[in-house]
Structure 1
Amino acid sequence: MKHLGILKPDTLVNLLNFIGSTAAIIYVFCMFIWPWVSGHGDWVYVQAIWDRWQGLNVGMLAFISSVTAFNISRYNAEKQRSRDFLAAKAFLPAALSELISYFINSGRVFNLGWESRNDGNQNFEIPELPREYKSVFGDCIRHAEPNVGDNLSRILVWLQIHDSRMRDYAEQHRGNGGSRSDRRTLITYFYRLGELQALVNKLFDFARNMGEFDSSPLNWEDFRSAYFGLGLIIENISVDDQMNLEAFTRRQIERHSSQNT
């Protein structure tokens, strides 16, 4: 979300509403309550006060009307945004299911590279990115709340990176077996693919209106479930005690956790 000066738009609106509400309360007290108290209920005295401050009264009534109209407009815009998002979100489960199938096929490409042993040409069949998810994600991002939109945007970006990474890997290793150093690279690729799978997994309940949006950081159970869904045997993806899929994933989780604290 863009900033206006040093304040976010929502913060600025809330600040203006707070100032407006405070000013309105003070105005009502000073113009409608205190004159009756100080004048001991004298109607002529109250009228004289109102007449003396006629310019202020007109200005305050216009200000209060403007703030009220603004908030009504803001409320109607928010309700319309919510309706538009619900309409867009109806297509999200199908788009997520397409991505899950794509991730599984992507995992097979990396698995083929992992299992190769300089035994001739490797037949890498690169899966195509689904097409429907882009428009669905785009509509959801346009109408979603900022935290949901940011999460979907991050998935979109990482999907493009993953697709390029997988294609480059397949092109570079056609006809070549996997070396020890290459396996270290593959572990990072497995991790990034699992990360995408885990993020999409966390969206399903929200997309199906079965739960609130979960923006909590990914933990080991999220990754373990993602690797299982990808058909990966975690114990088999290992170079040594320090460089294996579980140890690498746990280090990344810990690093992200320390950055967020």
Structure 2
Amino acid sequence: MRRIGILKAERLVDLLNWIGFPAVTLYVVCMFIFPWIDGRGEWTHVQDVWNRWQGLNVGMLAFISSITAFNISRFNAEKQREREFLASKAFLPAALSELVSYFKESASVFIAGWELAPGQQPNIVLPILPGEYKVVFGNCIRHAEPEVGEYLSKILVKLQVHDARVRDFINRMHDESDVSPEKHNLISYFYRLGELHALAGKLFDYARNLQEFDSSPLEWEDFRNAYGNLDIWVDEIRIDDQMNLEAFTKRAIDRANTDT
């Protein structure tokens, strides 16, 4: 957004409205109501007041015109932003579907690692992160309301971390000196992947204009559905009563709710 001096244009309009509306109200009272009362309804008295304050009248008319023009400009800019966001949002379901396919491929990598016996060489192929989502997400973030933009940005950040995590995991699995499938780490990987899938899943109905945007914290049911869609069987991702996918996820949900 453009800046005027040290203020953003949006902030300047808000400041003008905050100052201007009380000032205009006071001006109307003093210039159009009080003279009639003070002059007991005599037209000549009202004219005399207006003539004496002619400079103020001209200045106030210019000020009112400026405020009106700024607000019309902001209204038109907001409508343009909404149109551009709707155009960008139309491609969001396809981008989300691409990401869901990528998530499923990533899940198969982690599942293969979980089932891998120590010392066994894996047959794992690196899932390729699709590229179309970057443009779609970028356009949506640029034109969306701040809450939606922050949500999409959060997905992007977590997605880049996940992609690096998958690459590192596959490199370690192909390293002959690495004889452990690192199941403790894999539980956290499953959790983070489920989180990404759940965050993306909450966007589908919004992207299709079926419901309002929902940025409420993820719950266990969101994760359970995500794990199921990724063919991650929660009961099988288990080391003991404390270190298993369900317990790990619920502890993470409790921490997130406490932080918020």
Task: Give the structure-1-normalised TM-score.
Answer: 0.92
Cα deviation digits, residues 145-204 of structure 1 (max 9, x gap): 11111111111111111011001011012255545xx11111111111011000000000
Uncovered stretches (5+) of structure 1, i.e. residues with no partner: none
Q: What amino acid sits opposite 2:69 in the alignment? A: A
Higher mean alpha-carbon deviation, 53-62 vs 108-117, is at 53-62
Structure 1 segments, 4+ long, off by >3 Å, are 7-16, 175-179
| C-alpha distance in 2 between matches for 1:255 and 1:8 | 37
Cα deviation digits, residues 89-148 of structure 1 (max 9, x gap): 111101100100000000000011111112521011111001111111111111111111
Percent identity over paired residues: 61
Could you tell me which residue of structure 2 aligns to residue 112 of structure 1? 112
Report the alpha carbon displacement of residue 12 of structure 1 after superposing the two structures with TM: 6.1
| C-alpha distance in 1 between matches for 2:61 and 2:9 | 25
Uncovered stretches (5+) of structure 2, i.e. residues with no partner: none
Q: Contact 1:187/1:237 (CA < 8 Å) preserved in 2?
A: yes
Matched, 1:35 2:39: no
Pairwise CA RMSD of aligned residues? 2.3
1:62-141 to 2 correspondences below 5 Å: 62-141=62-141
Cα deviation digits, residues 66-96 of structure 1 (max 9, x gap): 1110000000000000000101111110110
| C-alpha distance in 2 between matches for 1:43 and 1:30 | 15
| C-alpha distance in 1 between matches for 2:120 and 2:111 | 16
Could you tell me which residue of structure 2 aligns to residue 257 of structure 1? 257
Decide whether aligned partners of structure 1 residues 23 and 130 sit closer, same or farther in structure 2, where only a CA change above 3 A counts: same
Q: Secondary structure of 1:113's partner?
A: helix
1:1-261 to 2 correspondences below 5 Å: 13-174=13-174, 175=176, 176-179=178-181, 182-260=182-260
| C-alpha distance in 1 between matches for 2:154 and 2:33 | 55
Q: What amino acid sits opposite 1:152 in the alignment? A: L
Number of positions where the alignment pairs a residue of Structure 1 with one of Structure 2? 258
Report the alpha carbon displacement of residue 224 of structure 1 after superposing the two structures with TM: 0.8
Decide whether aligned partners of structure 1 residues 154 and 8 sit closer, same or farther in structure 2, where only a CA change above 3 A counts: farther
Report the alpha carbon displacement of residue 234 of structure 1 after superposing the two structures with TM: 0.5
Q: Secondary structure of 1:73's partner?
A: helix
| C-alpha distance in 2 between matches for 1:161 and 1:83 | 32
Q: What amino acid sits opposite 1:111 in the alignment? A: I
